[in-house]
Structure 1
């Protein structure tokens, strides 16, 4: 009898041991799964950014960042200058109603904090002091704003970083593939229309009082790099800045462009000062004497193509350019 009792006790102890082992295994699996979901990134400043998993609630401080998010299928919780983005970037319209967090250069820290984001995506255009404040709210992925040495590479690298942070890398690959296809088809269409190696100058302009400033987009700009890939020649003689590849000149500087050059620009009807070419320069003698003006080779491309955007904006640019030059 005693032997039976001891045997029963031993069996019970063994069962409890097995049961205890069984309860610890799922916990270990859960820990391993959580570790596997962690995301480690190196941002545009070389800083390590650690996330517990793909970010779902994201705030963006710059319009190209917002475009990347929207094109990846991520609806941003907070957007800098919603009204401005809506007017200037129609290639990737907002699908939700994000909170306006203030201006691109000065986001409201209180507004961002109230959103309790998983991730804040900024660019190096934002003052370092503002980035430091944002880092107290949530992890900040600070992207390199631009690089005239490789504008297209910088754009796609930023897209890839945001995709990795949000778990949307497959979508990023699709966007890049579509973009390359658009460049190829655009180049083919322009060659067919007789614009192979054509000289093509892109610029924008602004008026402050009676002073008109023209901003040439050199080959170091994003638009300039796209034009190069389309087989067009950039006739600007001015030097662009090291980040955005943008130059500075005035209406007199336009006389230095080749006589057979085409000229194009993008303005926005919500910002009247952005269209100096039909405004402040309309009656300017120098402007009216330019060969491309006299030859009807000035092209205003459609509003809503953000010149510093992502793949969707650049695809929209290609479409609008091909349409303008084929007329």
Structure 2
């Protein structure tokens, strides 16, 4: 009898060892009986991270105006598209039969119960640089690649430190988006804006009064107020409408406009939490700010930032 009990315990050890419980950004436990292999990515982050780990997502959501993240598209051929990050087609998601859903929290938490009926659901904040680093760790553990995920984070931390040491600073910049009369400018805690800080650049969006809350990501700024601060460089995020603020009579008087240092950037600048995206944005941003010191990363010409005309 004792032998049989010992044998049963030995048989259970591998099963118990492969079980995973991780707390997501809601503070909720995510339970898996074994590392996930079929992961549905309800955000660009999930697809980005999985590819960085040498895996392929079971499903992805649209990337702004694109069916697939353009900077990853070559590696995602044939992967089913299940809607947008804010409107997932639950029927298609169910057909994919994932064993994990990696999702951006602020768009999906309202449907947490519906997701959980299909597969374990991990909600991730994906707003700040710390969110990105934590999400890489969480997701890496859920797919059984903890060591690889931690190595990805350490490598990026070294990259940040190297760039900060090399960047001379003394510049200011603004990250702008929208097609309206008053552009939306991002606060310091937004991941892409945080990268400005690592390059010793003053982000004119300033600080959110309670950055630990994460939202809002920024605010509307009148062009008159932007002129008062007069950034050296302006990065324009993609907009599906004509940027009305660039037709304002004040626009040509901005220092960045006069010097030709206004750049249109790709969609990955707006969704930069994944390890591939955040590194590309850092490199490209550094090149545009300090072209004599940093080279443009390897990106197809169609995906590179370009001077705004």
Q: TM-score, normalised by structure 1?
A: 0.77
Alignment partners' CA distance in 1, 2:233 and 2:63: 34
The structural deviation recorded for 1:237 is 5.2
| Unaligned segments of structure 1, at least 5 residues | 1-16
CA RMSD of aligned residues (A): 2.9
Name the count of aligned residue pairs.
288
Deviates more, 1:102-111 or 1:228-237: 228-237
Partner of 2:163: 186
* TM-aligned CA distance change 1:184 to 1:265, over 3 Å: farther
Residue 198 (structure 2) pairs with residue 198 (structure 1): no
SS in 1 for 2:236: strand
Residue 104 (structure 2) pairs with residue 123 (structure 1): yes
The structural deviation recorded for 1:93 is 5.6
Alignment partners' CA distance in 2, 1:43 and 1:308: 19
Residue 210 (structure 2) pairs with residue 246 (structure 1): no
The structural deviation recorded for 1:80 is 1.3
* TM-aligned CA distance change 1:237 to 1:141, over 3 Å: closer
Partner of 2:229: 257
| Alignment of structure 1 residues 85-234 onto 2, 5 Å | 88=69, 90=71, 94-146=75-127, 151-191=128-168, 196-204=169-177, 206-207=178-179, 211-234=180-203
* TM-aligned CA distance change 1:92 to 1:68, over 3 Å: farther
Alignment partners' CA distance in 1, 2:32 and 2:90: 21
Alignment partners' CA distance in 2, 1:303 and 1:143: 19
1:189-229 deviations in Å (ceiling 9; x for gaps) = 422xxxx232222222x22xxx4341212211111211112
Alignment partners' CA distance in 2, 1:123 and 1:302: 20
Alignment partners' CA distance in 2, 1:284 and 1:324: 25
Alignment partners' CA distance in 1, 2:206 and 2:283: 26
* TM-aligned CA distance change 1:254 to 1:91, over 3 Å: farther
SS in 2 for 1:125: helix
The structural deviation recorded for 1:317 is 1.2
Residue 29 (structure 2) pairs with residue 57 (structure 1): no
Partner of 1:45: 26
Alignment partners' CA distance in 1, 2:70 and 2:138: 21
Alignment partners' CA distance in 1, 2:91 and 2:277: 31
Partner of 2:261: 297
Q: TM-score, normalised by structure 2?
A: 0.81
Residue 302 (structure 2) pairs with residue 321 (structure 1): no
1:253-285 deviations in Å (ceiling 9; x for gaps) = 322324x63222333xxx642x62xxx445431
| Unaligned segments of structure 2, at least 5 residues | 292-309
